[in-house]
Amino acid sequence: MNLLRGSKVWVEDRDSAWLPAEVLDSDGNKILLLTDSGKKVLASKEKLFPRDADEEEHGGFEDMTRLAYLNEPGVLFNLRRRYELNDIYTYTGSILIAVNPFTKLPHLYDSHMMDQYKGAPLGELSPHVFAVADASYRAMMNEGKSQSILVSGESGAGKTETTKLIMQYLTFVGGRAAGDDRTVEQQVLESNPLLEAFGNARTVRNDNSSRFGKFVEIQFDSNGRISGAAIRTYLLERSRVVQITDPERNYHCFYQLCSFERDAEKYKLGHPSHFHYLNQSKIYELEGVRNSEEYLKTRRAMDIVGISHADQEAIFRVLAAILHVGNIEFSPGKEHDSSEVKNDKSRFHLEMAADLFMCDVDLLLATLCTRSIQTREGSIIKVLDCNAAVAGRDALAKTVYARLFDWLVDKINMSVGQDINSKIQIGVLDIYGFECFKDNSFEQFCINFANEKLQQHFNEHVFKMEQEEYGKEEINWSYIEFVDNQDVLDLIEKKPIGIIALLDEACMFPKSTHETFSTKLFQHFRSHPRLGKEKFSQTDFTVSHYAGKVTYHTDTFLDKNRDYVVVEHCNLLSSSKCPFVSGLFPLLPEESSRSSYKFSSVAARFKQQLQALMETLNSTEPHYIRCVKPNSLNRPQIFENASVIHQLRCGGVLEAVRISLAGYPTRRTYSEFVDRFGLIAPEFMDGSYDDKAATKKILQKLKLENFQLGRTKVFLRAGQIGILDSRRAEVLDNAAKCIQRRLRTFITHQYFIILRSAAFSLQACCRGHIARKIYAAKRETAAAISIQKYIRMWLTRRVHLKLNFSAITIQSHVRGFVTRQRFLHVKEHRAATFVQAFWRMSKVRSSFLRHQTSIVAIQCLWRCKQAKRELRRLKQEANEAGALRLAKSKLEKQLEDLTWRLHLEKKIRVSNEEAKKIEISKLQKMLEALNLELDAAKLAKINECNKNAVLQNQLELSVKEKSALKRELVVVDELRKENALLKVSLDAFERKYMTLELELMNAQKGRDENMEKLRELEQKCSQLEQNEKKLEEKLMSLEDENRVLRQKALSTPLKSNRPGFAKSMSEKYSSAITSRTERKTTYESPTPTKLIAPFTLGLTDSRRSKLTAEKHQDNYEFLSKCIKENLGFKHGKPIAARIIYKCLLHWHSFESERTTIFDSIIEGINEALKVRVDDIILPYWLSNTSALLCLLQRNLRSNGFLTTTAQRYPGSSGLTSRTGHGPKSPLQFIGFDDGVSHVEARYPAILFKQQLTACVEKIFGLLRDNLKKELSPLLGSCIQAPKTGRGVQGAKLSRSPRGIPQQSSSGQWDNIVKFLDSLMSKLRGNHVPSFFIRKLVTQVFSFINITLFNSLLLRRECCTFSNGEYVKSGLAELEKWIVNAKEEYAGTSWHELNYIRQAVGFLVIHQKRKKSLEEIRKDLCPALTVRQIYRISTMYWDDKYGTQSVSNEVVSEMREIVSKDNQNLPSNSFLLDDDLSIPFSAEDIDMAIPAIDLDEIHLPEFVSEYSCAQFLRSQQK
């Protein structure tokens, strides 16, 4: 690797694993580097890796095989960049790497996202677990071979969640298990708490680590439907039951049982520290976990799985027994090498264990302390020493626990349901990953052995994929070396000499120790490159695994590997009185029971299970998902490099990188290679060479060897891309120098021009300053002269003004004196005149008042006399006995009159509505006239105000002259005396008036009594009205029941609906219909043509029914012929719809109480659609059915008998609503009418209208769905710019990195435009109303918007600058089409493309980094959500000009908003959903379609063949 100053490299770091750095200087093998943090580092050349600076501008590569430098730091930082953008999935070839986000990302896993990945080839869309699941499902269906998905990673990396998502997707594409409401995913996941309780434990690195492997088989039938599932478990860590190390724990179920007080007390349990199997570690509680709650969850999971309560009790009895067995201690017995129970405490635990196992306590003690050996002579009882007894005790505990775990797995499989006949399945393997701790024991050895096996399988798969890639590209790959780990596997498992074989051999000898095992191990593998010996330990050994070196401590190897199956133990427990325990230990065969010991090595059994697992995996096609835990804190947006790089090593990802490095790690398509490195050899870029030839010329020019040219890609060996990049950097460096030289010349020239212009400016300033001084002196001289002139003028003017003011003052005083004298004379004359006028007025007024007083007195006397006469008459009437009776009769007549008027008003209310409209118009005119009068009154008011002002002035004058009138007060006093006399006479009249008032009060009391009686009569009348309303409600309920019965009758088959059906039907409905007809005669007055004979009479007359059936049959055949034939159109109106309507109208079908002709019409239309569902028949029937529906909507009105309460005309109520007419057509209210008389429609006609509405919606939906199916493949080719070869013209055009000319022809878009033109011609050719065309085109453009926008967000190669230009040009073509189609047919189609238009507009703008989030949301993309903008911003890359996406501040701001939305919003998908609704109703159709003329109809030729249709010919004539 040639490192120059400024080269970008990766340098190793202790804390961050790798750091990006730049070369400052090189001194031989030592390189001085400057890291991004500003720190200078000195490193050797061999420890550096090259770095591509251009990749930092991207948001990371979706497939890491596209990295320019495929190395460890490149892989690590590509994952980091994508993780920071919440892109948690990344491909490495066909391997998916999933980084746990530790936060919810619901937008990635909804049903719409699953639908997008359904059927999509792997790699076409963004990396996703759904893509791997879909690839496995498609491969299984296409090849008929079972598949497997291997999910690996350390605890907490998200393996279980990934497995859940895989099963969720397989359930989505494979359907649901037959006869079960729960999906397979739910069934398997419901068993997880149970398996975790009995199979998970705390380890050094994780609190909930799976200590077994789980292989979930999802079984499918031949049609690809899920038929069953099964869970297979592998490699349970049995030794953990009896032996654990601090700070680990035993299995969770033990701690859960001890924490639940009720069961713990029942089984004599206590704190875990009291039991030997649990107190070997001091960790009893887990942070954030309550064991008692987990116990209840485990119980609940048992209930869900279907474990009975008795079995649950037995399970926990067994667990308690295991804990008690572990507390049994032994001491040397009386005999040599014998043992016995140590003390009373151990005796108690022994008795409890026997009680819980439900076996004999002495027999249990005997099986623990002795062994029976079968010989020819008989059985020999051998006593065991303390160590052997402890080993037997632990063997019993491990055996019981293992059998219990296997029973639970079998029970879960029974609950889930297996399909034993399934031939194909998809298996999902969830198994523990590679482990390397500070202290590694036998468990880590077994786990790492399993991972070595899986890694070999993985390596073979990766190498196979590499071979397939090379074979597909037709290159020579025979000499490529295969990186294999077979030597490690031979070291571990090879017979007769391998680590496992040596360990089993050591375990067979009782006196073997871990020292003897280690000595023999080092003797046999002294020179093995994969095995090493620790310096400070004689027994520890180190194995070089694929993920690194691991040192194992052999102290407990032998104890953990021994797994004796003691026959006495099995016999003891098989004889248990507990059916559950005895079921775990079935009786052994006779030959097996002869030997007391059945030696079983844990490592050997582990090896067998592993071999079975590998055979299962080898029989399937594998797919790999590597889960990565980004940090140990389990928090989002934290990426620990050291932890991740360790997991990548353990997961085999870096091993896959090494395999790729062994072959051709760098591969580029020819267009990409030429776009990047074409500048190295511009002489080959003149257009005379194609991409492949140009690539070859460039490589030959640089004298590179061992590269391979495939069909579509160039393959480079490791290091060759560095040579190309260094040469490209030199070319770019020289170009930069040339640009700098030109720029410096330009800057210097500009500086000279600026200096020259500055000199000119300075000279001009100096000259201007001198000229300004001369000008100022001249201006001062002129100013002095002007000031003198104005001062002299001011003095002269002042003298003149003073003289003038004096003359004017004298004149004004003289004139004022003369005027005042004249005014006083006039004032005296006016006062005298005023006094005379008031005196004359006073005399006249006194005379008038005298006359008035006399007249009032006479009137009072006359009225008093009249009142007395009336009082006498009222007394006489009150004494008469018949007066009350007459009043009552009058009130009754008034009540009858009022009720009659009430009914009359209700009858004429409907007809009065139109009169009201006329009255309203008249009132409006009157209101206008009144407004005019009001204006006139206002004017009069103004005049009166003016007059009042004049009077007010006169009043003020009179107040001043009031003093003159005081003299007349003497005369007024005399008048007062006369008034006193009049008052005396008035008092006499008032007394008489009071007596008359008392008599009047008595008369009013009598009247009040009569009014109370009248009110009582009114209350009785209101009660009668309420009873009437109740009767109306009962009648309405009877109508509803009759309607339901009629609907049931209409829903029967056509044959039963024809005349002549069973008599029982007539009996069933006769009572209801006769009562209904009786009521109808009471409340309705139909025309004679609408009178219907009683239903029973029509059914009993057989002859009449026969004639009716023949007539109906003729009608059915004629309408069926009209439906089957294409009758065409006349004057743009459908003929078939008009003929059908006229026939139904003529045959009085709408007025019929019961008919099947409407059903036959709907069935005929459906049959016509079934025969041909294409773009011709659908528009034809859309036009016909909409026209027929429009005719029904306008010309039918609901009969009052059938209308429900909600359908009545507003204002009508009760029985009177049946006497009026139904509501008019809505078109009449807006002044639009077809000129056709309205028909009272019965229930079948109304039901037919509803069925026809559904038929129109169905045809519209079918037509829309067909269009979407035809449009989908066209849109698939339009979202991404096509790759074109470089011809001769390519040299003249500036090309994008993908070889797309700037003025790219929109050939694919032309296909869409042609498709739209064809659609428009078909619709208009069938005279589909513009209303439907507008709705259909709008939905088609909405589908275009959704499809293009979703594809843009799911495919990173589409989020480029050049692709944005391509799509933008295509949208311009669609805009032209919309303009040409006009708004009548296109409607708001252009607005439906808002999302894709704004997204594409964002792609093609420059200087995105200068845009703030507010500007993007409000100006550029107002319709897009922040999540969608975030997705586009992070996926964008400029393949044309190299510009960058939005700034990091904007990205972080959007990330915060998105994370908040994840918690708040119910739906967080960034994809758009397709609208499948019907965008119109029957009322919309009625309002949109113009009038339909029924007169001009072109009759088809077959009309003459049917007698029922002859009226059409006569009408036409």
Residues facing 543 on adjacent strands: 531, 550
Out of 155, 399, 1217, 1363, the active site residue is 155
User: 190 catalytic, yes or no?
Assistant: no
Out of 206, 688, 1219, 1447, the active site residue is 206
- What does the alpha-carbon distance between residue 1432 and residue 1021 come to, in Å, rounded to a whole number? 76
- What does the alpha-carbon distance between residue 19 and residue 1434 come to, in Å, rounded to a whole number? 23
Those residues with Cβ within 8 angstroms of residue 277's Cβ, 6 or more apart along the chain or in another chain: 241, 242, 244, 250, 254, 322, 323, 326, 397
Measured between alpha carbons, how far apart are the two ends of the chain, in Å?
100
Residues facing 340 on adjacent strands: 331
Q: What would the two tokens of residue 275 be?
A: 């039991």
11 close to 47: Cβ distance less than 8 angstroms: yes
Residue 1207 has what DSSP assignment? G
Out of 237, 294, 340, 435, the active site residue is 435
Residue 651 has what DSSP assignment? T
3-state secondary structure of 382: strand
DSSP string covering 950-1009: HHHHHHHHHHHTGGGGGGGHHHHHHHHHHHHHHHHHHHHHHHHHHHHHHHHHHHHHHHHH
Out of 65, 100, 148, 209, the active site residue is 209
Residues facing 233 on adjacent strands: 214
- What does the alpha-carbon distance between residue 155 and residue 168 come to, in Å, rounded to a whole number? 21
157 marked ligand binding residue: yes
Computed from CA positions of residues 282, 285, 286, 287, in that sequence, does the dihedral angle turn out positive or negative? negative
User: 16 catalytic, yes or no?
Assistant: no
Q: Which amino acid is at 819?
A: T
Out of 199, 433, 678, 1164, the active site residue is 433
- What does the alpha-carbon distance between residue 997 and residue 1001 come to, in Å, rounded to a whole number? 6
Q: What would the two tokens of residue 347 be?
A: 């005796």
Q: Is 1071 exposed, middle or buried (CB count within 10 Å of its CB: 0-12, 13-18, 19+)? A: exposed
Q: What would the two tokens of residue 1011 be?
A: 């009014």
C-alpha closest to that of 409 among 196, 607, 250: 196
905 marked ligand binding residue: no
User: 1066 catalytic, yes or no?
Assistant: no
1057 close to 1050: Cβ distance less than 8 angstroms: yes
Place of tokens 């050996």: 373
User: 1469 catalytic, yes or no?
Assistant: no
Out of 65, 136, 146, 160, the active site residue is 160
588 close to 473: Cβ distance less than 8 angstroms: no
135 marked ligand binding residue: no
Q: Is 980 exposed, middle or buried (CB count within 10 Å of its CB: 0-12, 13-18, 19+)? A: exposed
224 marked ligand binding residue: no
Out of 100, 126, 152, 210, the active site residue is 210
1325 marked ligand binding residue: no
Taking residue 1383's Cβ as centre, other Cβ atoms within 10 Å add up to 13
Query: Strand runs (DSSP E) across 253-328, as ranges?
Result: none
- What does the alpha-carbon distance between residue 1014 and residue 1005 come to, in Å, rounded to a whole number? 14
Q: Helix, strand, coil % (nearest 5) of the chain?
A: 65, 10, 25
User: 1306 catalytic, yes or no?
Assistant: no
154 marked ligand binding residue: yes
Q: What would the two tokens of residue 1084 be?
A: 């309705």
- What does the alpha-carbon distance between residue 609 and residue 611 come to, in Å, rounded to a whole number? 5
Out of 156, 213, 1290, 1364, the active site residue is 156
User: 415 catalytic, yes or no?
Assistant: no
197 close to 298: Cβ distance less than 8 angstroms: yes
- Helices and strands, number each (H, E), in the chain: 47, 30
Taking residue 994's Cβ as centre, other Cβ atoms within 10 Å add up to 8
Q: What would the two tokens of residue 272 be?
A: 């875990």
User: 206 catalytic, yes or no?
Assistant: yes
- What does the alpha-carbon distance between residue 216 and residue 171 come to, in Å, rounded to a whole number? 13
- What does the alpha-carbon distance between residue 486 and residue 158 come to, in Å, rounded to a whole number? 30
Query: Strand runs (DSSP E) across 546-620, as ranges?
Result: 548-552, 565-566, 597-598
| Element housing 1240 (H / E) | strand 1239-1241
- Across 474-491, b (16+ Cβ under 10 Å) vs e yields ebeeeeeeebebeebbeb
User: 156 catalytic, yes or no?
Assistant: yes
Binding residue positions: 153-160
Binding residue positions for ATP: 153-160
Residues taking part in catalysis? 155-156, 160, 206, 209-210, 433, 435
